[in-house]
Structure 1
Amino acid sequence: MSRKTLTRRQFVAATAMSSAALITAPYVRGAYAAGKLSIGFWDHWVPGANDASTALVNEWAAKEKVEVSIDYITSNNKKIELTAAAEAQAKSGHDILQMPSWWPHAYSENLEPLNDVMEPLIKQNGEVNGTVKYLGQSGGKWLAIPATPGSQIKGPCSRIDLMKKHAGIDVQEMYPAGSPPKADNWTMETFLKAAEACQKAGFPFGIGLGETTDSVDTAGAIFQSFGAELVNAKGDVTVKTDAVRQALEFYKKLIAVLPTDAPSWDDASNNKWLISGRGAMILNPPSAWAVAKRDAPQVAEQCWTHGFPAGPKGRFAPYLPYFWGVWSFGKNKEAAKSLLTHLSSPAAIEKFVVASGGYDLPAYANMTTFKTWAEVGPPKGTLYHYPNPYNHQTLSIAASPAPPKIAQQIYFQATLTKMALRFAQGEKLETALAWAEGECEGFMRT
């Protein structure tokens, strides 16, 4: 998820395609008729993707006769997070602000409840996944609306040729374009054997072990596949369990066959690893593949995005949703709700997907089969399984199901990867567990 030169924002938006009829609830103008609405959107990595947001907002504004202003706020240097913090403290700012995954809970006391928007959207677009509920709800109240722009799954992107030659795995046969997965044998054990074989052949899996989100998200999915939780949903510290021990034992074996500098990787490193041709797999959205289309087409044409391996407790995939929140101190809350309904219509969601070349992922169950994912290439169908069209895996976020305000600290302190590294680099298992337990107990007090 790097913002450097060769990252997710580099790939070219897809061509336009037909959309379903726009479905949106009318905004009944009241005291703020012909008034103003201020919006803070995340500045998209994909060139041209912001244009889709602007066009959809202007379409709504012309119809409702509302004057809108849009700011696109970069996530470089945490600027979007700093904007949220400043506005929440000042009780002034945008009416609508797009927020990264954890922030609706962080600012729950300053957000307008959006049940009256979200409940009709679910009826229209289908149910949302559990991670969206976990991050977007509190006490039955919807804190924010899932935003299609920026939301992503960080699944495996494998080299077709290298996986077949060195690991004996045909990823296209396992995840065929246009058909359900045939992945019963795609397990953590198979994954580890494949990683060992590719490392021996000189093409290690490019999996980071650092403190940035790509590394943490991967660790979260692996731990969850073993049923390993550092803090459970009740808020109890559960570090010293057999499930956590099993996850760490697996990670130690995996770390042994990863690149030696993986502990220092940031979110640009795995992208570069794939594009350079040195690795047989990374775990990432399709941005690295898309940059490879431009800079290393011989690599891109051998890439296939597919599902995560399954562990003893299931198959999990890292999912990072963005949200649109409405500040409770906003001056035009009814107009804001109407706009969010418009941006969440099937036609609008499809436009977001097209403009991002398939990178953006809707949160709704009925929005996973747009033809963009079936048609983009090379090779054609490479992104077909990216949106999880068969509900083949559970979309999750690292450190869940701990209460979100505790999980957020586990996530940003990279407790999972730090613990795995301590054990892999020679620290006794029980010592590593005791360290993580102490960290989590500290998070409970802050």
Structure 2
Amino acid sequence: MALTLRGLAGTMHRRHLAPGSSLLDRWRAQVKSRKGGSSDMATAHARYDLRADGLTRRRFLQTSAGGLAGLAGIVALQVPPSLAQQREVSMLSWAHFVPQADQKLHEIGARFEKATKIKIRFDHLQEAQMAAKLAAEVQTGTGHDLLMLRMHLPLLHATNLADMSDVVETLTKQYGPLYEFCEEAAYYKDHWVAMPAYHGAFPGSYNKKYFDEVGEKPPDTWEDLVRAGKKMKAKGHPVGIPISQTNDAVSTLGPIMWAFGAKAVDKDGKTVTINSEETSEAIEYVKRLYNEAMEPEVLSWDDASNNRFLISGKGSWIANPQSHYLTAKTRNMPITQDIYFQLMPAGPKGRHTTTFIRSMGIWKFSKNIEPAKEFIKFFLNQEQYNDYVNAAQAFDAPVFKSMEDHPVWKIDPKYEPIKESGRYGHLYGWPAPGDERSQQVTNNFIIPIMFAKAIGGTSNKEAMAWAEAEIKRIYST
């Protein structure tokens, strides 16, 4: 095939690559279309404006000093110049508490490099370090290309993230719709700013032996939990829900509020709705659960307290991911056989649960936006995605509704009930948009403090008025 330098320059211009195909496929398609001399290379070149990317013909010729022989070699191999030059994508991710998950991510990166000749480098940070690192990269306009972002972080950085709507569209056409909570994390105004990657459930967990001893089944409703909890507390095995300034308190009290129809801020992101009859009903319920089924220690718990509470043999029911169970299992603790899981209980206004989601975003200032998108699609390819989800041992579940019955739930029969959690999941602050103000309400623990005040003797009306004033102060700035 005769391919002129001018024609080759035209094929290199990314703006004219067809959407929805990989870089490699698009290059091959262009080369193939020119075989047989059916295309006028000079005319083709005229359609590509090299200057739009700041690349003049003279500069192109200078930077192509390797000569036509080198370019012809690339064309003969049908490999895009960007790939032939071994481009590198850098990805910033969290340090996963399941080491096998990070190991599998690196393996998938090696597969990607082998398939595309694009190298990918992974850097991992502890979760507490991520916010400062992201802020620094925004300030300097340099850093990583690809980011694994927790919860609402895509929305907090939305104006600095590349549009990911094309990636979401490609993958949802392939696998079907995402769970609704994905929009809460990564959809900004009229477009996606990140591709939801996986989510973690926040189920109920209980000691089946203690429930059996009092003739109760795992609670399907919050009222069921009060009835059963009262019986088990009398036998020395209370229920444990933190009512303290800790993340697990937010993760548990939020679903209770939602189950009673209560919300802190309306979906318009403006109207503060915490001071309501629905909130008062939720407070009354928690006061009853505390007095009849729990003990005062929950008022000073941290995020590890409920784990210790259940695997120590004292507790009968908590809300928590699988970490306590895996700890007991790893240590070969006899109590492992008694620990089971269930969906979060339902209330008068339905069943709701907190969901933890991570999404993959790309900085707008990245010079590798297209290769980074290619890695996201490669990672979410069925084979790679299955490998990763399985390696994460059910902590990271698929974000596509069609994958609810994923094989990962069968690695341990006790995980089976958790698989439906995605249907009922929300992020902190729902239904309000997850902007900086909403996150401030969460991070200031306003909801747990409100419940703690009411349990401590403050009237519901006063506790709600305090929370309302605090939230209005945040939303007025």
Q: Shorter-chain TM-score: which interval?
A: 0.7 to 0.9
Cα offset, 1:213, TM superposition = 1.7
Total equivalences in the alignment? 399
Q: Could you say which residue in structure 2 is the equivalent of 1:401?
A: 431
Partner SS, residue 39 of structure 1: strand
Amino acid at match of 2:190: G
1:230 touches 1:238 (CA, 8 Å); kept in 2? Answer: yes
Which of 106, 115, 118 is equivalent to 2:165? 115
1:294 aligns with 2:330: yes
SS in 1 for 2:296: coil
Query: Is the 8 Å Cα contact of residues 225 and 312 (structure 1) preserved in structure 2?
Result: yes
Alpha-carbon spacing, 1:297–1:128, altered in 2? closer, same or farther (3 Å): same
State how far apart, in whole Å, the 2-side matches of 1:261 and 1:413 are: 21
Q: 2:95 aligns with which of 33, 40, 43?
A: 43
Match of 1:248 in 2: 283
User: Displacement of 1:401 after TM fit?
Assistant: 0.7
Kept in 2: contact 1:221–1:398 (CA 8 A): no
Structure 1 residues 156-167: aligned runs within 5 Å: 156-166=204-214
Assess if the C-alpha contact under 8 Å between 1:125 and 1:346 holds in 2: no
CA contact (8 A) 2:244 2:301 kept: yes
Does residue 106 (structure 1) correspond to residue 138 (structure 2)? The answer is: no
Contact 1:232/1:401 (8 A) holds in 2? yes
Instruction: Describe how 1:64-103 pairs up with structure 2 within 5 A.
Output: 64-75=116-127, 78-103=128-153
CA RMSD of aligned residues (A): 1.8
1:441 aligns with 2:472: yes
Report the Cα distance in structure 1 between the residues aligned to 2:216 and 2:130, rounded to whole angstroms. 41
Q: CA deviation at 1:67?
A: 2.3
Q: Name the structure with the higher helix share.
A: 2
Offset, 1:31: 6.6
Is the 8 Å Cα contact of residues 244 and 452 (structure 2) preserved in structure 1? Answer: no
Q: Supply the distance in 2 between the matched residues of 1:58 and 1:210 (Cα, whole angstroms).
A: 44
The answer to whether residue 236 in structure 2 is matched with residue 202 in structure 1 is yes
Partner of 2:370: 334
Give the secondary-structure state (helix, strand or coil) at the position aligned to 2:355: strand
Go from structure 1 to structure 2 and tell me whether the alpha carbon gap of 1:403 and 1:375 turns closer, same or farther (over 3 Å shift): closer
- CA deviations over 1:137-156 (Å, ceiling 9, x no partner): 011211111122xx311110
Question: Of 365, 373, 381, which aligns to 2:409?
Answer: 373
1:25 CA drift (Å): 5.2
- Number of the residue aligned with 2:175: 125
Alpha-carbon distance, 1:134 to partner: 1.2
Aligned counterparts of 2:364 and 2:230: Cα–Cα separation in 1:
53
1:419 CA drift (Å): 0.4
Which protein has the larger Cα radius of gyration, Structure 1 or Structure 2?
2
What TM-score, normalized by structure 2, do the two folds share?
0.80
TM-score, scaled relative to structure 1: 0.86
Offset from partner CA, 1:375-426 (integer Å, 9 cap, x none): 42xxxx100121217x7x5111232111211321221111111101101100
Q: Which amino acid aligns with 1:384?
A: E
Alignment equivalent of 2:321, drawn from 285, 292, 295: 285
Matches of 1:105 and 1:140 in 2, distance apart? 12
The secondary structure found in structure 1 opposite 2:354 is: strand
Where structure 2 has 5 or more consecutive residues not aligned to the other structure, the ranges are 1-19, 28-79
Paired amino acid for 1:346: Q
Q: Which amino acid aligns with 1:299?
A: I
Kept after mapping to 2: 8 A contact 1:275/1:296:
no
Alignment partner of 1:229: what SS?
A: coil
Letter in 2 for 1:120: T
SS in 1 for 2:420: coil
Given candidates 299, 312, 321, the residue that maps to 1:276 is 312
Aligned residues of 1:25 and 1:338 also touching (Cα < 8 A)? no
Displacement of 1:356 after TM fit? 1.6
Q: Which one-letter code corresponds to 1:273 in the other structure?
A: F
Could you tell me how far apart the structure 1 residues matched to 2:138 and 2:154 are? 11
Provide closer, same or farther for how the CA distance between residues 236 and 31 of structure 1 changes in structure 2, counting only shifts above 3 A. Answer: farther
State the one-letter code of the partner of 1:288: H
Residues 248-302 of structure 1 show CA distances to partners (whole Å, capped at 9, x for unaligned) of: 1111112223232212211111111122111111111111111111225321111
Match of 1:310 among 327, 340, 346: 346
Whether contact under 8 Å (2:201, 2:355) holds in the other structure is yes
Q: Which secondary structure state, in structure 1, belongs to the residue aligned with residue 148 of structure 2?
A: strand
Which residue is 2:38 aligned to? none
Asked whether the 8 Å contact 2:98–2:392 carries over to 1, the reply is yes
CA displacement 1:338-364 (0-9 Å, x = unmatched): 100111122222112211222211111
Q: Could you list the per-position Cα deviations for residues 49-104 of structure 1 after superposition, in whole angstroms to 9, with x for gaps in the alignment?
A: 211000111111121111221101111xx112221121122211100011110111
Give the superposition deviation at 1:365. Answer: 0.6
1:400 is matched by which residue type in structure 2?
W
Q: State how far apart, in whole Å, the 2-side matches of 1:335 and 1:316 are.
A: 38
In 1, Cα distance between the equivalents of 2:330 and 2:311?
A: 10
Aligned residue number for residue 5 of structure 1: none
Q: Relative contact order (alpha carbons < 8 A, sep ≥ 6): 1 or 2 greater?
A: 1
2:417 to 375, 385, 406: 385
Map 1:342-353 onto structure 2 (within 5 A): 342-353=378-389
For the structure 1 residues 147 and 259, does the alpha-carbon distance in structure 2 shift closer, same or farther, using more than 3 Å as the test?
farther
- Residue pair 2:23, 2:371 contacting (<8 A) in 1 also: yes
Unaligned runs of 5+ in 1: 1-23, 172-184
Name the CA distance, whole Å, in 2 between partners of 1:221 and 1:344: 30
Other-structure match for 1:357: 393
Q: 1:428 pairs with 459, 465, 476, which one?
A: 459
Q: Is the 8 A contact 1:81 1:99 kept in 2?
A: no
1:370 Cα deviation after fit: 2.3
| Equivalent position amino acid for 1:197 in 2 | K
Contact 2:184 2:427 in 1 (8 A): no
- Check whether the contact 1:220–1:397 (CA below 8 A) recurs between aligned residues: no
Offset at 1:231?
A: 0.8
Q: Secondary structure at the match of 1:384?
A: helix
Counterpart among 193, 207, 214 of residue 227 in structure 2: 193
Residue 223 of structure 1: CA displacement?
A: 0.5
